[in-house]
Amino acid sequence: MSSTSSPVGSPISTRDRIVELADQLFYERGYEHTSFADIAAAVNLSRGNFYHHFKAKDDILDAVIELRRQRTQAMLDRWAAEAPTPVARISRFIHMMVMNGSKIRRHGCPVGTLCTELAKLEHPALPRANHLFILFRQWLARQFTELGRTHQADTLAMHLLARSQGIATLANAFDDEAFIHQEVESLLKWLHDTATATQASQGS
């Protein structure tokens, strides 16, 4: 999902490369267990050149959260543009667990693991990290609203988010690919049943 070029095709800037590699390291190792030196080594920069771009690890964290926010919003916008119905759009969200299954099994959900770690650290960046969940919550609620479940839209969105986080946590704990596929099929059936019940109530 990471990009190696700017939108106009020019080489990626050093700062952007630092943020992308820090994003990867924070996901794979955790924020607390990733040092300045780890990131500098990954980018192949001297400490002096590194400090030219970022003075503190918290500054890199802010940049990583912003990068994730931009990528999440772009992904949600793409789903909304490509999928013709709310059921198809919600299905894109559900299928994301299969698409990212190998990463989830190794490292968990990137949003969930970051928010959990920052909460344990009582880190001031937690509200900004939580906004990634808010993006998903609001987007899913809009889809359920379009589906005709206006009054339950946020409840259904939170239910789906909770299920997806539980699946990611257990798939990571047990390194179980079959479990992900099993639970994704269960969620797709739940979505189909929810849509069918909504249509039936609207037709009665």
Asked if residue 2 has pLDDT above 90, the reply is no
Give the span between the Cα atoms of 168 and 193, in whole angstroms: 23
CATH of the domain at 108: 1.10.357.10
The domain tally of the chain equals 1
Within 13 Å and on the Cβ side, how many CA atoms surround 92?
A: 19
61: in domain: no
Q: Are 34 and 22 in contact (CB under 8 A)?
A: yes
110: in domain: yes
Asked if residue 168 has pLDDT above 80, the reply is yes
Asked if residue 82 has pLDDT above 80, the reply is yes
Could you count the other beta carbons within 10 Å of the beta carbon of residue 171?
23
128: in domain: yes
Confidence (pLDDT) at 131: 97
159: in domain: yes
| Selected residue with higher pLDDT from 78 and 201 | 78
What's the 3-state SS for 13-39? CHHHHHHHHHHHHHHHHCCCCCCHHHH
129: in domain: yes
Instruction: Kindly report, residue by residue over 101-131, the tens digit of the pLDDT.
Output: 999 999 999 999 999 999 999 999 999 999 9
Instruction: Kindly report, residue by residue over 9-58, the tens digit of the pLDDT.
Output: 557 899 999 999 999 999 999 999 999 899 999 999 888 888 889 999 99
| Mean per-residue pLDDT over the chain, rounded | 93
Range of the domain at 115: 66-203
pTM of the model: 0.91
189: in domain: yes
80: in domain: yes
Confidence (pLDDT) at 180: 98
Confidence (pLDDT) at 202: 84
User: What residues contact 128, with CB distance under 8 A and at least 6 apart?
Assistant: 62, 65
Q: Are 23 and 68 in contact (CB under 8 A)?
A: yes
Kindly list the distances between the CA atom of residue 195 and the CA atoms of 23, 89, 91, in Å, as whole numbers in the listed order. Answer: 37, 13, 12
43: in domain: no
Confidence (pLDDT) at 48: 82
